[in-house]
Amino acid sequence: MVRFFSKKEVLTPLDVPDDISVMIDNVGKEFKKRNKHVHAIKTISFAVKKGEFFSIIGRSGSGKTTLLNILGTMIKPSTGRIAINGKTIDTLSEHDLTMLKRFDIATVYQNYNLIPVLTAYQNVELPLILVGWDRDKRRKRTEKLLNLVGLIHRRDHKPEELSGGEKQRVSIARALANKPKIILADEPTGDLDWEIGEGIIQLLEGINRDLGTTLILVTHDRNLANRADRMMEMRDGEIVRLEKAGGEKIRIEEQKTREKKDPSYY
């Protein structure tokens, strides 16, 4: 049943442990389609720890993308409550919710979501303009991020002039602009071949590992999902499995073979 809060009802924040980045408490999502009610997400609860690499796997129609959109505060749940970095979403003012979206959460999309009339540099710079950074600080930050993703030499190219892998790297650089605490990645390698996709995943893993940024990855690829610290499998809007994945072993091996980057580089 969908719960509607009355205007007089006073909502209290969820009690969230200090080590929790995201808490989902009895969340469900219902859509009305052709006079029928479709339960995209049935009642689910789980939590993601700060700094965790958490993967969500499921086939098309399992509810994983709807859940990611709820986590990104792009759509509201029909039931239940969400807390992000200790902030209970439905208790926030419009201003505080906007600040949460700008500074706490960033999304990397499968289709990149770059603005076609802007160059790679301008796409990465845009979030900094929106929060009021001055020109010199914007330039330094934008160039730093384009260097990080290996695209400083493509700074003046528009999206149509970039390959799929280059577009995704620009998308990641833009996501990092305001130093978010959480990155949501929606099938970030879905349109890429294996080799290029592997580079994208290694970049996201490095950000998660070196900065402690919480990474929540949605995928249909079980091998990719298994690289996370924990994997949650969804089917028909429900959680059917939540387990420790193979990420710990893989990431330890990576650290043996790759020099750990200086977090200040980000």
Please state, in angstroms and rounded to a whole number, the distance separating the CA atoms of residues 55 and 232.
Answer: 6
The predicted pLDDT at position 5 comes to: 46
pTM summary value? 0.86
164-to-80, 161, 168, 200, 219 alpha-carbon distances in Å: 37, 10, 6, 11, 18
Q: From the centroid of its chain, how far is CA 190?
A: 15
Is the distance from CB of 236 to CB of 63 less than 8 angstroms?
yes
Both tokens assigned to 30:
């219902």
The predicted pLDDT at position 166 comes to: 96
**How open is the CA angle 125-126-127, to the nearest 5 degrees?**
100
The predicted pLDDT at position 246 comes to: 66
Closest-CA residue to 218 (of 65, 106, 74): 65
Number of Cβ atoms within 10 Å of the Cβ of 95:
8
Both tokens assigned to 65:
């993308």
How far does the chain reach from its first CA to its final CA, in angstroms?
45
The predicted pLDDT at position 263 comes to: 52
The predicted pLDDT at position 10 comes to: 55
Tell the residue number behind the tokens 């700008």, with chain if given: 102
The predicted pLDDT at position 37 comes to: 82
The predicted pLDDT at position 190 comes to: 86
- For the chain, what is the radius of gyration of the CA atoms? 19
The predicted pLDDT at position 7 comes to: 47
175-to-113, 192, 253 alpha-carbon distances in Å: 11, 19, 27
Q: At what angle do helices 164-175 and 194-211 cross, to 10 degrees?
A: 10
The predicted pLDDT at position 12 comes to: 82
The predicted pLDDT at position 44 comes to: 95
Residues of the chain with pLDDT under 70: 1-11, 246-266
Please state, in angstroms and rounded to a whole number, the distance separating the CA atoms of residues 233 and 153.
Answer: 40
